[in-house]
Amino acid sequence: MLGALPPRGDTPEPGLPDAWWLDPRRAVIVDRATGAVTIVTTATSSALAESAADRFGEEVRATLDAQAAGARQPTTSDALIAGTWHTSRGQYAADIARCREHLLAGDSYELCLTNEFRPDTDPDPLDLFLELRASDPAPYAALLEFDGGAVVSASPERFLRGTPDGDYETKPIKGTTARASDPLLDAAAARELANDPKVFAENLMIVDLLRNDLGRVCAPGSVHVPSLMAVESYATVHQLVTTVRGSAPGVPPLDVVRALFPGGSMTGAPKLRSVELLRDIEGRDRGVYSGALGVLGADGSTELSIVIRTAVRDDRGWSIGAGGAIVLASDPEAETLEVELKASALRRAFARSSRS
Taking Cα atoms as reference points, which of 85, 113, 115, 88 lies closest to residue 101?
A: 113
Answer yes or no: are the C-beta atoms of 251 and 166 closer than 8 Å.
yes
User: How big is the chain by its Cα radius of gyration, in Å?
Assistant: 21
Give the torsion through C-alpha atoms of 59, 314, 129, 287, to 10 deg: -120
SS3 content of the chain, % helix, strand, coil (to 5): 35, 30, 35
Catalytic residue among 116, 171, 174, 202: 174
Cα separation values, 46 from 26, 39, 59, Å: 15, 14, 20
Displacement of CA 226 from its chain's centroid (Å): 22
Answer yes or no: are the C-beta atoms of 142 and 151 closer than 8 Å.
yes
Displacement of CA 192 from its chain's centroid (Å): 24
Handedness of CA 200, 188, 305, 334 (dihedral sign): positive
Residues contacting 147, CB < 8 A, separation 6+: none
Taking Cα atoms as reference points, which of 352, 353, 351, 323 lies closest to residue 83?
A: 351
174 among known catalytic residues: yes
C-alpha 240/C-alpha 26 separation (Å) is 37
Helix (H) / strand (E) containing 199: helix 197-215
Catalytic residue among 157, 202, 335, 338: 157
232 among known catalytic residues: no
At residue 160, the 3 state secondary structure works out as strand
Cα separation values, 268 from 80, 96, 295, Å: 30, 14, 25
Surface-to-core class of residue 31, CB atoms within 10 Å of its CB (0-12 exposed, 13-18 middle, 19+ buried): exposed
* Residues tagged active-site: 157, 174
